[in-house]
Structure 1
C-alpha cells in the first residue's frame, strides 16, 4: 500500500468517528439556567453598553389623539415610499405596478373615504385581497401617519377651489 493510499485511509477512519452534527441536540444553556462559565453563575447577561434594542415593527401602538404637521409630513414620506408604487401619488390606483398588471385600489374613492381609520390601518398591516400585509415593513406609528396623510389626500382630491380660504385660492391662481 502506498503512502498516499494509507494517508487517505487514515483520513477516512478519522472521519468515520465523527458523529452527525445536530443543532437541535447540542448542549446549550437556557436563559434562567445556572452557568459556572459566567460571573455570578448566571446564563442571562446584561446587554453590551450602547446596544440599541430592536423594536418590533409589527407591534401596534394606539391611534394618535391628534394629527400634527410632522405626522402628516412623515405620512407623506412613508406613503411615497410604500404606497405610490401601487396606488400612485394621487391615490388613484394608477401606480407603476398597476401599469404592469397588478391590481390596486383607488384610495380617494367614496368607498375608501367611508372606511374608518382603524380599518385602513388594519389593511396596511394585514393586507386585503391582492395587497400584501406590510406590518413587518412599516412600523405602527408610520402606519398611522400614512392613514393621516391618506385622509388629507382624500380631502385634497375632492375639494372645490371656491371652498378654499382666500390665501390658498390666491396661491393657486398666482402666475408661476
Structure 2
C-alpha cells in the first residue's frame, strides 16, 4: 500500500520534531539569563548596604536645609491624631478642625484649593471650573444649602475618600492640608452670602466708597 503523501508532508517526522523542540529549548535558555538580569538590575534597593559611603548605607540622609515639596511645617501641630486622620469626632463628621483656624491656615487652604480643587469647583466654588467647562461632570455648588449645613469634617472626608465623579486626594493632599482646604471652603461659603451689615465697620466704609 502506498503511503498518504499529503499526510506525510503535513506531519513532520519524529526526528524533525525533536530538532525543533531542541532549538526552541536552546532559544529559551539563551533568553533566560537576560530576564534574570532585568529583574536583578545593578541598582541599590531600599536600605541596602553600600561600601561607597563611610556609614555603609546606600540610602543617604537629606541635605541640611532641604524643604519638602509639600511643606506643612507652618501648620499647627495636632494632638488628636484620630480626628486629624479620620475627620470624625465621636463617630460623626466633626464640626471643627483639629487645630485653630487662623489667617495662616486659610491662606494655606486657599493655595492648596487653587491647586487641587479649583480646576473643577472653580475659584469661587460655583462648580464651573475649567475642566467642567470642557465637559467634565459638574460638582455641586458650595452654596447649596445641604453643603452650607454640612459639618467641616464632611469636606475633609470627601477630599480623603472621594465622592461621585471625584476621586480620592488622600495620596496627593496631606491631612492637615485637607483640613485647611475644608476651612477655606467654609470661608468661600460665607463670602458668597455675606451681608454688608455683618462686615466690620472698616469694610463697610470701603464698600460705600466703592459704590460712590
> Which residue number corresponds to residue 148 of structure 1?
183
Pairs within 5 Å for 1:70-85 = 70-85=104-119
Shift of 1:48: 3.3
SS of 1:128's partner is coil
1:161 to 184, 192, 196: 196
What are structure 2's unaligned runs of at least 5 residues? 1-25, 72-80, 85-96
* Structure 1 position 16 matched with structure 2 position 6: no
d(CA) in 2 for partners of 1:157, 1:94: 15
* Structure 1 position 89 matched with structure 2 position 123: yes
Cα deviation digits, residues 66-125 of structure 1 (max 9, x gap): 101100011111111111111111111111111112121212221111222112111112
* Structure 1 position 98 matched with structure 2 position 132: yes
> Which residue number corresponds to residue 118 of structure 1?
153
> Which residue number corresponds to residue 173 of structure 2?
138
8 Å CA contact 1:86, 1:98 repeated in 2:
yes
CA shift in 2, pair 1:53/1:61, >3 Å: farther
Shift of 1:174: 1.6
CA shift in 2, pair 1:25/1:172, >3 Å: same
Q: CA RMSD in A?
A: 3.8
Shift of 1:128: 0.3
Shift of 1:60: 8.2
SS of 2:210's partner is coil
* Structure 1 position 171 matched with structure 2 position 206: yes
Paired positions, count: 157
What are structure 1's unaligned runs of at least 5 residues? 1-11
> Which residue number corresponds to residue 50 of structure 1?
63
CA shift in 2, pair 1:145/1:60, >3 Å: farther
Cα deviation digits, residues 136-172 of structure 1 (max 9, x gap): 1111111111111111111111121122222111112
d(CA) in 2 for partners of 1:70, 1:164: 20
By relative contact order (CA 8 Å, sep 6+), the higher-ranking structure is: 1
8 Å CA contact 1:87, 1:94 repeated in 2:
yes
8 Å CA contact 1:86, 1:96 repeated in 2:
yes
